Amino acid sequence: MNTNEKQTGAATIPQRSAGVLLHIASLPGKYGIGTMGAEARRFADFLHAAGVRYWQVLPLVQTGFGDSPYQSVFGASGNPYLIDVDRLAAEGLLRKSELRPLRHEGAIDYGFLFHQKYAVLRRAFARFDTSDADFRRFVEGKEFHEYALFMALKEAHGGASFDRWKKPYKLRDEAALQQFLRENEREYLFWLFLQYQFRRQWEDLRAYVNGLGIRIIGDIPLYVAADSADVWANAHLFKLNKNRTARRVAGVPPDYFSATGQLWGNPVYDWKAHAAEGYAWWVRRIRAAFSLYDVVRIDHFRGLDRYYEVEAGAVTAEHGCWRRGPGMKLFAAAERALGELPFIAEDLGQMDGGVLRLLRRSGFPGMKILQFAFDGNPDNPYLPHNIPVNSVCYTGTHDNDTSLGFMNCLPADEFARVKARLRAAMRTMGLEGRIVGRASAVKALRSICWASEASLAVVPVQDLLQLGGEARMNTPAVGEGNWRFRLRRALPASLAAQLRAELASCGRI
């Protein structure tokens, strides 16, 4: 590693810059969910006009349990819901009339998508020439072999989780798998077709975005889903029972997000097994992430120093225990294989000396969340004057309420105290602007974010638009109603001009 460059964050953030957080699924459009089509390019044009250098997205993976992008059937997959069907129609794989059942505006309805979009995608596959040379190269590359086989088996088992499959398939009897593949090749190819189309469209979109001078920040979840091709194909790398159910599951103890902790349900890693293989599985996973994104945020970074595990079957995460993670050994293995990589560390949650040392040793910029800053503690690490250059400052993230939702939930006396602290921070930073009501407090929070010393400042699109709690993306520890937020229309040029002026005043253009 180039130590000096790492300490300044130069490997990740070359100069003072700004980003906007908006998941692809949250883009507007007429087919029930945001896609990699025209609206994505229109949003990139908006960022370019505003002088924004980074577009941050959530994991692009095929979602699974709870429709969460942090619970995928395969960690390196692309989400078929994000495929632009207008492009498939333009390529002759769909008729315009076949797109009508997909029309659905407003919040994302995953049940609707499951039934309607897959039906449309299967029609497109029925017209696709699987002997196409480019597709054959994709198939023969085997990058998605385990995923496609897993999905074909899952379909054959009525969608059941793999620990409930017939024993030869669950335990991966090679002869049984080969026979199944011969008998179900068409279904296997359908799932490869989806990944092929996703990858083609994403690479074209990324090239367009990069061509505007904008880099994409993606996300690598620390854990993978229990019912996933990752676990099914690599059972020895996880703490599982012989029947492939989890012995220990991941979560976090009680914190500011949840009084009973968060019980995620993901199987935890057997880090000794990973170390014995030189962290090869993780290296492949990191390589796959950087094939999609320019910069990668490591979700739940603290779990790489010490991680919290709970007995499978526990009702809450209150009675788990801490175990030692791989630390710098994992990053050393990744650097040997892939070179120096631009990471952002999601260093939120219970922090201790060990994870703080790991963050310093890695040199990765950490995250500073302004919604957590104004509690009256002068040593609060999220206060603007405590935010270092080598960090990423956010008003809030996808796990927070929107900033207006946050302000609206404060009782009058608490809001008065937060307002006074915001005013004091603005005076200290030389910022102008009055804070009258809760909406103006959100604008002040955004101004403080842009003016902070952090090399990169990122604001969720909900806070640009000053949307309330109805636009919240995710509520941790709540299993339903998340990940549904969508913009109703493209962002106006007037907002791009306003944002550009804000960024210019803070030297972030």
Q: Can you tell me the distance from the alpha carbon of 215 to that of 456, in angstroms, rounded to the nearest whole number?
A: 12
Residue 346 falls in the annotated catalytic set: yes
Q: Can you tell me the distance from the alpha carbon of 431 to that of 10, in angstroms, rounded to the nearest whole number?
A: 27
Q: Can you tell me the distance from the alpha carbon of 364 to that of 285, in angstroms, rounded to the nearest whole number?
A: 19
Region of residue 376 (left: phi > 0; alpha: psi -120 to 50; beta: else): left
Reference 212, options 138, 294, 335; nearest CA is 294
Query: In 3-state terms, the chain is what percent helix, strand and coil (to 5)?
Result: 45, 10, 40
Q: Which amino acid is at 333?
A: A
Phi/psi at 421 (5° precision): -70, -35
| H, E, C per residue of 316-354 | CCCCCEEEECCCHHHHHHHHHHHCCCCEEECCCCCCCHH
Q: Can you tell me the distance from the alpha carbon of 477 to that of 498, in angstroms, rounded to the nearest whole number?
A: 36
Locate 482 and state its tokens: 């998340």
Catalytic member of 230, 346, 401, 502: 346
Residues 6+ apart with CB under 8 A from 424: none
Terminal-residue alpha carbon distance, the chain = 29
What is the DSSP-derived secondary structure letter of residue 227? S
* Residue 475, helix vs strand vs coil: coil
Locate 484 and state its tokens: 């549904």
Catalytic member of 45, 67, 227, 299: 299
Strands 54-56 vs 215-220: parallel, antiparallel or unpaired: parallel
H-helix or E-strand spanning residue 50: helix 38-50
Residue 203 falls in the annotated catalytic set: no
Residue 174 falls in the annotated catalytic set: no
b vs e for 454-487, b when ≥16 Cβ sit within 10 Å of the residue's Cβ? bbbbbbbbbbbebbbeebbbbbbbeeeebbbbbb
Extended strands (E) in 57-159:
none
Would you mind telling me the total number of residues written for the chain in this entry?
509
Q: Residue 320, Cα to own-chain centre: how many angstroms? A: 25
b vs e for 302-322, b when ≥16 Cβ sit within 10 Å of the residue's Cβ? bbbbbbbbbebebebbeebee
Catalytic member of 45, 67, 146, 399: 399
The residues annotated as belonging to the active site are 299, 346, 399
